Amino acid sequence: MGSLTESYAFVIFGASGDLAKRKIYPTLWLLYRDNSIPKNTVFLGYARSDLTKDQVRERCAPFVKVTREDQESYEDFWRRNHYLRGSYDQRRDFETLNELINQTAGLGANRLFYLAVMPTVFESVTSNLRGCCMAGKGGDGTWTRVVIEKPFGKDSESSAKLSRHLASLFPEEELFRIDHYLGKEMVQNLMQVRFGNRIFGPTWNRDNIASIFISFKEPFGTQGRGGYFDEFGIIRDVMQNHLLQILCLVAMEKPCSTAADDIRDEKVKVLKCMQELTLDNVVLGQYEGDPEGEGEAKDGYLDDPTVPAGSVTPTYALAVAHINNERWDGVPFILRCGKALNERKAEVRIQYRDVAGDVFLGQSKRNELVIRVQPGEAIYCKVMTKTPGMSFGLEETELDLTYGDRYKGAKLPDAYERLILDVFCGSQMHFVRSDELAEAWRIFTPLLHKIEKEKPKPIPYKYGSRGPAEADAKLAENNFKYYGSYKWTKPSSL
Ligand code: BG6
């Protein structure tokens, strides 16, 4: 991070918005409280709204946790905060911001800029940053880092345009593209599990694995955010970024080291081996209200007043992807994500092939290695065992590493805590590089354009259900066996 005599300015663009109050300020507070970031950091909120620092603080209040012991530190945190009202496109406002940074953090401060703003202003904000707010004069060791969050464009073309724009202003080392799934404990753990053990490596391939299912389910709908969501749809919102990033970490070869670029090189290679997705390998759904449901569940996607009438934007998607390399040829990677489903769950399910030369007269069921991302972080392996006791029969059970049991009381930081700390430290390991992004869009753009052009009607599914039945058929077609005979039971500690 640098020596303690250095000072830091953390600027939050979009300080009046939702992301800032729900995530960014609360995360900065936690990092400050825990001494994870230097105490000589100054926080500057910037937005168009006419607000005071105290009003920003009030807006954040419902989302921060402050104990009585923390109260003094919390007051300190807000004393180190400032708020500046300004436009996103006027140079003189950015000059004022620069003066405020100089006054509050000092001329030699390192600068972190977090763009929690609408993508329509990404370009003007970054151009003005470059023009007026960079750290130091070059060569004095101070640095500038810019953090941006999706959407990084809507397709290959718009994303390439944004990437070109950013590359004309900042070197890649100064750009931190957040995919917050890369900040999650179990997503990060994919590397340790795969490359820190001897046991999994030899079977991690097409000879042993039948299919890989990467799944994201949410039990709520668009919650009034439908206007925004409708422009993007679930594929852009979750699949093209969060699920694809997980796929890369599951499928990549062992990197030469844990250096950020060695890892990202391997992820890019996976993407380069993937063909563009086609509509015939996809199931699309849209939720309808459940007349017997309660509250929001009564309403379907189209009942959200912010969603355009008759929208065919999918709120559920299942897609089958393939990686054409020696390790994965023929293994379906099934990506599934959906809103308003029966549960909240994100997991990776690696299903092994059937046992060869089975002597148990077909009683064996496939092994599965499950990496549960959330809720209740866990890794468990579904295995067959002898029914305990006199019987010589077989039954399913699991080898279970449930974090809540094994690591009782361990604090698992939130994804944003890890990622913002990484930005301070300058570690890009868990951030998306521009070539990775370009490949991700290459894979999804033809499908997204086809959906937009042909407007296939998504299959309706009921709010709170498992999603369209057609998705189960797709799973079966793609070498994923669902037995329905066994369910992991959540330990009582969770
Ligand atoms: C965001 C999506 O990127 O991820 C949201 O825009 C989604 O639609 C969210 O709800 C899920 O994140 P998490 O961390 O709650 O699983």
Q: What local confidence, expressed as pLDDT, does residue 4 receive?
A: 44
Report in angstroms the alpha-carbon separations of 175 from 40, 172, 186, 241, 273.
23, 5, 24, 17, 26
When computed from its CA atoms, the radius of gyration of the chain, rounded to whole angstroms, is 24
Q: Is the pLDDT of residue 323 over 70?
A: yes
Q: Which of 238, 240, 256, 257 is nearest to 248 (CA)?
A: 240
CA of 216 to the centre of ligand 1 (A): 9
Instruction: Write the pLDDT tens digit of every residue in 328-384.
Output: 999 999 999 999 999 999 999 999 999 999 999 889 999 999 999 999 999 999 999
Largest separation between any pair of C-alpha atoms in the chain: 83
Report which of residues 191 and 138 the model is more confident about: 191
Nearest-10 Cα torsion for 388, 392, 393, 398: 40
Going by alpha carbons, the residue nearest to atom 5 of ligand 1 is 237
* The pLDDT of residue 446 is above 50: yes
Q: Which of 156-165, 242-251, 293-302, 482-491 has the lowest mean pLDDT?
A: 482-491
Which atom belonging to ligand 1 lies closest to the Cα atom of 225? 8
Please indicate whether residue 368, judged by its CB atom, sits closer than 6 Å to ligand 1. Answer: no
- Are 315 and 195 in contact, with CB atoms under 8 Å apart? no
Give distance in angstroms: CA of 43 to centre of ligand 1: 25
218 lines ligand 1 (CB under 6 A): yes
pLDDT reported for residue 1: 53
Q: Is residue 197 exposed (0-12), middle (13-18) or buried (19+ Cβ within 10 Å)? A: exposed
Closest residue (by CA) to atom 15 of ligand 1? 218
Task: Take atom 8 of ligand 1 and give the residue whose Cα is closest.
Answer: 237
Mean confidence (pLDDT) of the chain = 95
**CA of 229, closest atom in ligand 1:** 8
Per-residue pLDDT at 147 exceeds 80: yes
Q: Alpha-carbon distance 81 to 419, whole Å?
A: 21
Of the residues 236, 238, 347, 374, which should be mutated to test ligand 1's pocket, given the most ligand atoms within 8 Å of the CB?
Answer: 238
Q: List pLDDT tens digits, range 397-426.
A: 999 999 999 999 899 999 999 999 999 999
pLDDT of residue 177: 98
Ligand 1 centroid to Cα of residue 232, in Å, is: 13
| Ligand 1 contact via 237 beta carbon (within 6 Å) | yes
Residues 6+ apart with CB under 8 A from 466: 341, 342, 472
Ligand 1 centroid from CA 229, angstroms? 11
Q: Is the pLDDT of residue 324 over 70?
A: yes
Which pLDDT score, from 0 to 100, does residue 484 have?
78
The alpha carbon of 18 and the centre of ligand 1 are apart by a number of angstroms equal to 13
Gap between the terminal Cα atoms of the chain: 36
Q: Which atom of ligand 1 is nearest to the CA of 216?
A: 16
* pLDDT over 70, % of the chain: 97
From 222, 237, 313, 418, the mutation candidate for ligand 1 (largest count of ligand atoms within 8 A of CB) is 237
Rounded-to-integer distance, Cα 224 and Cα 202, Å: 47
For residue 340, the CA-to-ligand 1 centroid distance in Å is 13
Nearest by Cα to 452 from 278, 342, 313: 313
- Are 182 and 419 a contacting pair, CB within 8 Å? yes
Which protein residue has the closest C-alpha to ligand 1 atom 9? 238
Q: Quick one: pLDDT band at residue 223, thresholds 50, 70, 90?
A: confident
Choose one of 218, 231, 234, 341 to mutate for the ligand 1 pocket test, by most ligand atoms within 8 angstroms of C-beta. 218
Residue minimizing CA distance to atom 11 of ligand 1: 238
Burial 358-369 (b: 16+ CB within 10 A, else e): eeeeeeebbbbb
Spell out the residues 6+ positions from residue 390 whose beta carbon is closer than 8 angstroms to its own: none
Active site amino acids: 242
What pLDDT does residue 3 have?
A: 47
What are the pLDDT digits (tens) for 152-208? 999 999 999 999 999 999 999 999 999 999 999 999 999 999 999 999 999 999 999
- Ligand 1 atom at shortest distance from the alpha carbon of 234: 8
Of ligand 1's atoms, which has the minimum distance to the CA of residue 415?
14
Which of 23, 180, 373 gets mutated to test ligand 1 (max ligand atoms within 8 A of its CB)?
A: 180
